[in-house]
Amino acid sequence: MSDILENVKKRDPHEPEFHQAAEEVIDSIGPVLEKHPEFRKHKVLERLLEPERQISFKVSWVDDQGEVQVNRGYRVQMNSAIGPYKGGLRFHPSVYPGILKFLAFEQTFKNALTGLPMGGGKGGSDFNPKGKSDGEVMRFCQNFFMELNRHVGHRIDVPAGDIGVGSREIGYMFGTYKKLSNEFTGVLTGKGVGWGGSLLRTEATGYGLVYFSENMLNHINDSVKGKTCLVSGSGNVAQHTVEKLLHMGAKPISVSDSSGFIYDEEGIDEDKLAYIKELKNVKRGRIKEYAEKYSSAKYFASEKDQSSNPLWDIKADCAFPCATQNEVNAKDAENLVKNKVVLIGEGANMPLEADAAKIVIDSDILYSPGKASNAGGVATSGIEMMQNYMGSYWSKEQVDKKLQEIMKEIHTNCLQASEEYGFKNDYVKGANIYSFKKVARATIAQGII
Ligand code: NDP
């Protein structure tokens, strides 16, 4: 097993995030390979670790000053064993193939967990939408999709949003796709309601995270109700995590962005959440402005090279990291353990560094990996695809019911898989084992190609 990881590192030495994601899966599935020698024989793991296709392309566009700008665009089509490639697009200056490979690898397992026929993919660009005008974002999206259009399709590869890609960007890309292909199919998910989008798709990742957490707490005869909750991020996932926590009677007390976080001792209520949505989605402002508006809140600016994030040292019952990968380090994890947090639910993908995850797994905190607890977003993208295939719309109640069923099913499958292999209540191992077996069986059935 260690030779497989070594080989991955040797082939692509400058992709630490991909190595981290690969190592976590490899660590989990040892006993599965023992029990299923056919998986070893067919080199399933080695094959899952290599993208089926990786596309890199130039995106030229013109800014508001008339200057030509050049960015890089990517799509990693990781695995199509159980369905068309599916996964978001990220626009952020940190984007490079290693980040996208880690995300596409995680996505393959996440999509298998949903029970829907979706393979794994991820894409994006090092373009930074922050501070850009709507016109600049539109011109970038148009040029980006002019190339991506050659590689996607509603039965081939169906991208969605991620960091830096919300409904505005999806709209500009969908318009470009329609102009180029002269047809209206569900080539992207996260579309606006009224032009092919699904009700609740925007809310689904955050809502699903809270539903999953409620399942974890119910399993130990507890509930989200009344819990004080730390949330990081203030984008799509964080906003709808806060919203569902409020619906379920919990008390969210923090949100953040890449400049810092706010701690509101009195709790973020519906009105304050509406302010955050307006601030982040419409005005595209900074979270610091929350503390200027509400005297109950304190703002803490992020410091360069800080050894830990004081956000994770605030006393609370639950923690929901919903910003980005590796935002919680070992010291933060120690603080969460010291403060006797009951549950950590990952909204972001791989928000805990490997050392931090180890500390949490060795404690008695309930801990869900993103590939299980944030799968509600892609599951609802799958529901959007179904509606597009059928040419119809589901009601909000239908989508919400299906989302709750899927999150419950993922919870049950993770627990059963972890128990079957002797790891009691280990959601990380359970998620990896259940999804690996599913993708492995499909891989073997389809032959060596
Ligand atoms: P958004 O772009 O809507 O929001 C991202 C938030 O995280 C912003 O508050 C942003 O702050 C902050 N952030 C981003 N990068 C960093 C960084 N390097 N350091 C600190 N803060 C940062 O993205 P989403 O809410 O959609 O995505 C958040 C996470 O959830 C990601 O890990 C994504 O992969 C994952 N996810 C998203 C899904 C979805 O449906 N959207 C589905 C499943 C997972 P700032 O504004 O300053 O950049």
- All domains of the chain in start order, with CATH: 2-183 (3.40.50.10860), 204-364 (3.40.50.720)
- Per-residue pLDDT at 236: 96
Which ligand 1 atom minimizes the distance to the CA of 324? 32
Nearest-atom number in ligand 1 for the CA of 370 is 44
Distances (CA, A) of 199 to 132, 376, 384: 28, 13, 8
pLDDT at 176 over 90: yes
What are the φ/ψ torsions at residue 352 (nearest 5 degrees)? -100, 130
pLDDT single digits (tens) 381-414? 999 999 999 999 999 999 999 999 999 999 999 9
What average pLDDT does the segment 240-245 reach?
Answer: 98
Q: Tell me the per-residue pLDDT of 269-305, one tens digit each, with 9 for 90 and over.
A: 999 999 999 999 999 999 999 999 999 999 999 998 8
Which residue lies with its CA nearest to atom 21 of ligand 1? Answer: 258
Q: Sign of the CA dihedral 166, 320, 381, 156?
A: positive
Model confidence band, residue 2 (pLDDT cutoffs 50, 70, 90): confident
Contacts 24+ apart (CB under 8 A), 215-218: 215/407, 215/408, 215/411, 216/343, 216/345, 216/366, 216/368, 216/411, 216/427, 217/342, 217/343, 217/366
Residues 427 and 414 sit within 8 Å (Cβ to Cβ): yes
Strand partners, 54: 76
**Residue with CA closest to ligand 1 atom 46:** 257
Give ligand 1 pocket residues (Cβ under 6 A): 161-164, 166, 205, 233-238, 257-259, 322-324, 327, 347-349, 374, 377
Q: What DSSP letter does each residue of 252-312 carry, written as one string? A: E-EEEETTEEEEETT---HHHHHHHHIIIIIS---THHHHHH-TTEEEEE--TT-SS-GGG
Question: What is the rounded CA–CA span in Å between residue 15 and residue 76?
Answer: 14
Q: From CA 208, how far away is CA 213, in angstroms rounded?
A: 8
Q: Looking at the predicted structure, is the pLDDT value of residue 349 above 80?
A: yes
* Atom 47, ligand 1: residue with shortest CA distance: 258
Catalytic hit among 86, 101, 122, 331: 122
